[in-house]
């Protein structure tokens, strides 16, 4: 049981390049999330998904696209990277239902630098 895994762990991009970050979870969770964290800041929600085939915008969605084609995977795409997207990206997942005890499980993060 690996929990939440992220690929790659590190990446350096040039301005204008594109890339996709992959998040995978093996806990059969319905909900998945992408956050970014800038130095000295808390996490900010980019996009999230409440089930396979559905996605929704979070606090800071501009410049990013996501897809949830399979329940266990959540992809984050940068179509044309900008230096402002230099950040650490965290993926998370959680179970569905109305119970309040649905904590989010986080991956180890992807450190992205855009030059």
Partner 1 sequence: DAKTTQPPSMDCAEGRAANLPCNHSTISGNEYVYWYRQIHSQGPQYIIHGLKNNETNEMASLIITEDRKSSTLILPHATLRDTAVYYCIVRVGNNQGGKLIFGQGTELSVKP
Q: Residues interacting with partner 1, by CB under 8 A?
A: 4, 31, 33, 35, 40-45, 48-50, 56, 58-59, 88, 90, 92, 94-109
Q: What's the min distance (Å) between Cβ of 55 and partner 1?
A: 10
Q: What's the min distance (Å) between Cβ of 61 and partner 1?
A: 13
Q: Which of 49/85 has CB closer to partner 1?
A: 49
Q: What's the min distance (Å) between Cβ of 106 and partner 1?
A: 3
Q: What's the min distance (Å) between Cβ of 30 and partner 1?
A: 9
**Buried/exposed code over 49-81 (b: 16+ C-beta within 10 A; e: otherwise):** beeeeebeebeebeebebebeebeebbbebeeb
- Whole-angstrom distance, CA of residue 84 vs CA of residue 25: 28
Q: Which of 17/105 has CB closer to partner 1?
A: 105
Residues 6+ apart with CB under 8 A from 53: 68, 69
Q: Which of 14/101 has CB closer to partner 1?
A: 101
Q: How far is CA 19 from the centre of its chain?
A: 13
Q: How far is CA 63 from the centre of its chain?
A: 13
């Amino acid at each position: 049981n690996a929990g939440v895994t992220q690929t790659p762990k590190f990446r350096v991009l040039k301005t204008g390049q594109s890339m996709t970050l992959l998040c995978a979870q093996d806990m059969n969770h319905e909900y998945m999330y992408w956050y970014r964290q800038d130095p000295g800041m808390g996490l900010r929600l980019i996009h999230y998904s409440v089930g396979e085939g559905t996605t929704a915008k979070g606090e800071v969605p501009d410049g990013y696209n996501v897809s949830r084609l399979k329940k266990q995977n959540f992809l984050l795409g940068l179509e044309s990277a900008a230096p402002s997207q230099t950040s650490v990206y965290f993926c998370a997942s959680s179970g569905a239902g109305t119970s309040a005890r649905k904590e989010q499980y986080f991956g180890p993060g992807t450190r992205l630098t855009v030059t």
